[in-house]
């Protein structure tokens, strides 16, 4: 079945009822949901998926360690390995021996990894690549760089993006 990306913008109070009904229907049809692990908007989707009994059809994508997962949704973790000699960062999917990894070059110090734009956007690019469509819940008039980047990435790949403004 299809994987549906869910994105909640920071500051949303919750998931609108219309979206909840969509999630319920998609879950009954056997679709899966993928999402990030932010403490803000993504966490609202975590709660909604849990309340709908869709934990087993949901996967949180995370870098190194899970930031937010109070409902124990399954995770897909990407490990970051730094090589000080080559100044490279290798990102590999945890537990996937077939993953060839992704390399970021030119990282001077290990403490710079999480401030590197390429590392920061890696998870969101994987979410976009793995989904067939996306549902976004946004605040009216407030768009973060992350949300703008995700919308642009979805559009470039011609993936449907349903946006709900609250």
User: CATH code at 49?
Assistant: 3.40.50.450
Confidence (pLDDT) at 126? 96
Instruction: Give the C-alpha separation, 82 to 105, whole Å.
Output: 10
- Mean residue pLDDT of the chain comes to 93
Element containing residue 69 per DSSP (H, E): none
Can you state the angle between helices 145-156 and 117-130, rounded to 10 degrees?
50
| Count: domains in the chain | 1
113 domain residue, yes or no: no
Q: What are phi and psi of 83, to 5 degrees?
A: -115, 105
Tell me the average pLDDT across 38-51.
91
Q: Examine the pLDDT at 19 and tell me if it is beyond 90.
A: yes
Instruction: Give the C-alpha separation, 112 to 116, whole Å.
Output: 6
Mean pLDDT is lowest, of 77-91, 120-134, 141-155, for 141-155
Structure confidence at residue 141 as a pLDDT band (50, 70, 90): low
91 domain residue, yes or no: no
- Whole-number CA gyration radius for the chain: 16
SS3 label, residue 49: helix
The residue range of the domain holding 37 is 3-77+121-165
Confidence (pLDDT) at 40? 80
Q: How many residues does the chain have?
A: 166
108 domain residue, yes or no: no
**Nearest Cα to Cα of residue 36 among 6, 10, 16, 14:** 6
The pTM (predicted TM-score) of the whole model is 0.93
Please write the tens of the pLDDT for every residue from 114-137: 888 899 899 999 999 999 999 999
42 domain residue, yes or no: yes
């Amino acid at each position: 079945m299809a994987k549906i990306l869910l994105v909640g913008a920071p500051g949303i109070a919750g998931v609108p009822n219309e979206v909840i009904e969509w999630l319920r229907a998609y879950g009954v049809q056997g679709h899966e949901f993928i999402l990030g692990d932010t403490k803000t908007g993504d966490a609202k989707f975590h709660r909604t998926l849990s309340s709908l009994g869709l934990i087993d059809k949901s996967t949180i994508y995370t870098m190194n360690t899970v930031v937010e997962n109070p409902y124990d949704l399954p995770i897909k973790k990407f490990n970051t390995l730094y090589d000080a000699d080559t100044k490279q960062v290798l990102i590999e999917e945890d537990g996937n021996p077939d993953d060839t990894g992704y390399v970021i070059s030119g990282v001077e110090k290990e403490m710079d990894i999480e401030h590197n734009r390429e590392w920061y956007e890696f998870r969101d690019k994987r979410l976009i690549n793995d989904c067939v469509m996306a549902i976004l819940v946004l605040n009216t008039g407030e768009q973060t760089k992350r949300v703008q980047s995700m919308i642009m990435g979805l559009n470039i790949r011609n993936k449907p993006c349903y946006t709900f403004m609250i």
